[in-house]
A and B are shown apart, each in its own frame.
Chain A
Amino acid sequence: MPEDGSEWPGLRVALAVPQRRDLVSVAAASGQSADAGYRTIRSRDRKQRSKLSRWYRGNERTVLGITGLVSFFVLWQILAMLGLISEFFFSSPLAILAAGIKEVQNPRFWTDVRISAFELTMGASIALVTAVPLGILIGWYRRVSFTFDPWLNFFNALPRIALLPLVVLWVGLGIQMKILIIFLGAFFSIIMPTAEGVRTVDRTYLDVARSYGATQRKLFTSVVVPATVPFIVTGIRLAIGRALIGVIVGEMYAQTEGLGVMIDKAEAALASDRMLFGVLIFTIAGIITTEAVGVIERYLQRWRPSIDVEEGH
């Protein structure tokens, strides 16, 4: 940071005189005939752009992204209206919207949302509060890790949803079953990266902490946990997907209540619009939770320098 703005004469000139094409044109106008045998590298010919085009260039990603999404829905709607895709099977955006409007006025829908949200929150948070400490434990103590590795690797490689019939055997078809299957889905997704994060803590930082006489406790809070945060966040990201699968499949399997049942029943009633509205709720849930994790991650990672800098000298 400049202590005094006047230390930046160059910057001010740059802002005041955005282009100095005259230099180029002078050189060109002087018309040196000795130029034969030379290649000329000219300066950037900065075009004077309109305000709109400058705005577009600054926001191209957003503009095109939204265009993409909108055209997807528009195309779907048109194809459905033309009968090129079967509205019976695939519905259409407007029909889904209509079904959605009807659905949100239905108290049963909100009961389903509440139940699914409750299962998800319970299962995922129990997984989080157990998997993180256990992951740190396993990552830190070599022998503990070696002992549990075979089983952890097994469950990590297994699609946890396969445990569903077993969970039903153990606890029946009630809400405990769904919470348990969500928990199982999320737990292994968090514990594996957490342990890996502790294992790969940079030794230099540990040595620094130890040489200053850090207690074991201080070592964990000052070095191990901060260094492991990115890994835990990665685990949580994976866990969200697994947990959502648990909610849906668990509910479809148990056939009692929740959004999974709503989707299944809607499809059985051949109401593809209502069914896709249910899917949309899960999409929104997936986006919101992933975004929330991103926000938390950015907060926890604010000490990490941004890598998106042009030209690092």
Chain B
Amino acid sequence: MTANASVAGKAPSPRRWAFKRPSERALYGAMGFIGVLVLWEIATDVGIFKKSLMSAPSLIVKAAMTDFGSGAIWPHITTSLSEWAIGFAIGAVVGIPLGLIIGWFRRFDYFASVMLSAIYATPKVALAPMIILVAGIGIEAKVILVLLLSIFAIIVSTVSGVHSVDRRHQQIAQSFGASKRLLFTSVVLPSTIPFILSGLRIGAGRALVGVVVAEFLVANQGIGWYISFNGTMLNSARVYLGILMLGLFGIVLGEMIRVVERRFDSWRPEIH
């Protein structure tokens, strides 16, 4: 069959090409990235896109220069950043030990499991109006929402990490007569680290959702508010600018955690 020959002839290993061809990747990536921006610019320029709705890359750059130049955007960035950081930090500090405890003590785990999966399935943003009512319109309400959104991802991932400890590794510790404490520190904790990290990665993203939603619903500062406010003012360039900053923050964050995760890759169990 001719189709067979042509297929067999190309792409020797679809599983590894992403790592194999960094220069090709960069070339096509740059083409895709710049291409979209250029098309966008042209489309707006010739009137295919409405300027008020779609803006244009050049207008976004101009808006960025204005707002960064005047410094008007910094309070929004610092507000959002501190809401995110405080909520996420509390989530990590409370969530990781809680996840370890739930995963480690079988009966405790059983006891919490139904409750935990019910809470996990609940979209926490639905609680936003209640949180605002209870905690007011200040930073507290936003921190609470961020915390609620991030902590369960961290707990659930940590618990599943403790559960996925390799049974053979446990047997080795048992075989050499390791104490419970040593079993925990020498086997359970190290094998759970990759899971904790992926929990933190997911939790960090969820926390960002919390920041945005809280600021949409009630705020007078922050990137979420900046996007929302400029939307109602039909100032589309600033809407895109705000979205761009959030996306970039998300990418930087993800990469940072991935760098840490890669350090543990050599002994990372297979998970998806």
Binding site for B on A (CB under 8 A): 60-61, 63-69, 72, 89-90, 140, 142-143, 145-151, 153-155, 157-159, 161-166, 168-170, 193, 198-203, 206, 210, 213-216, 219, 230-231, 234, 241, 244-245, 247-249, 252-253, 260, 263-264, 266-268, 270, 272, 275-276, 278-279, 282-283, 286-287, 290
Q: Which of B32, B242, B248 lies in contact with A151, CB distance below 8 A?
A: B32
A206 — nearest CB in chain B belongs to which residue? B14
Residues of A contacting B234 with CB < 8 Å?
A: 169
Query: Are B14 and A89 in contact (CB-based, < 8 A)?
Result: no
Q: A154-B251, A162-B224, A210-B4 are in contact. Are A199 and B129 (CB under 8 A)?
A: no
Given contacts A69-B115, A146-B24, contact A279 B122 (CB under 8 A): yes
Instruction: Return A205 CB to nearest CB of chain B, in Å.
Output: 11
- In the assembled complex, which residues on chain B have CB atoms less than 8 Å from the CB atom of A60? 107, 110
Q: A146-B29, A168-B231 are in contact. Are A199 and B18 (CB under 8 A)?
A: yes
Q: Which listed residue (B123, B132, B243, B251) contacts A163, Cβ 8 A?
A: B243
Write out the residue numbers on chain B whose beta carbons fall within 8 Å of the beta carbon of A155: 247
A-B residue pair count with CB separations less than 8 angstroms: 197
Tell whether B53 is near chain A: CB-to-CB under 8 Å.
yes
> Given A143-B28, A210-B8, A268-B129, A162 and B217 touching (CB < 8 A)?
no
CA–CA, A216 to B195, complex, Å? 37
Interface presence of B250 (CB below 8 A): yes
Asked if B134 is at the interface (CB within 8 A of a chain A CB), the reply is yes
Q: Known: A147-B28, A166-B240, A202-B15. Is A214-B114 also a contact (CB below 8 A)?
A: no
- Residues on A with C-beta less than 8 A from B159 are none
Contact at A68–B213, with CB atoms within 8 Å?
no
> What are 9 pairs between A and B in contact, CB < 8 Å?
A146-B32, A157-B253, A159-B212, A163-B243, A201-B15, A249-B217, A278-B126, A282-B122, A283-B118
Chain A, interface SS category = helix
Q: How far is the CA of A160 from the CA of B21 in the complex (A)?
A: 30
Contact B125 A249 (CB under 8 A): yes
With A200-B15, A278-B126, A290-B121 as contacts: A166 and B239 at CB distance below 8 Å: yes
Tell me, rounded to whole Å, the shortest Cβ–Cβ distance linking B120 to chain A: 8
Q: Report B-chain residues with C-beta under 8 Å of the C-beta of A267.
A: 129-130, 132-133
Within 8 A of A (CB), among B172-219: 205, 208-209, 211-213, 216-217
B110 and A286 contacting across the interface, CB-CB below 8 Å: no
Contacting A159 at CB < 8 Å: which of B205, B236, B240? B205
CB–CB A162/B111 < 8 A = no
0/1 per residue, B237-272, Cβ < 8 Å to A?
001101100111011011000000000000000001
User: In whole angstroms, what is the CA distance A65 to B114 when docked?
Assistant: 5
Residues of B within 8 A of A206 (CB): 14
Residues from chain A with a CB closer than 8 A to the CB of B112 are 68
For residue B11, which residues in chain A have a CB less than 8 angstroms away from its CB? 142
Q: Contacts A162-B212, A245-B209 given; 19 further ones with Cβ under 8 A?
A: A64-B111, A65-B111, A142-B17, A143-B24, A147-B32, A161-B212, A162-B227, A162-B243, A165-B227, A166-B239, A198-B14, A213-B1, A215-B1, A216-B3, A231-B272, A263-B126, A279-B122, A279-B127, A283-B122
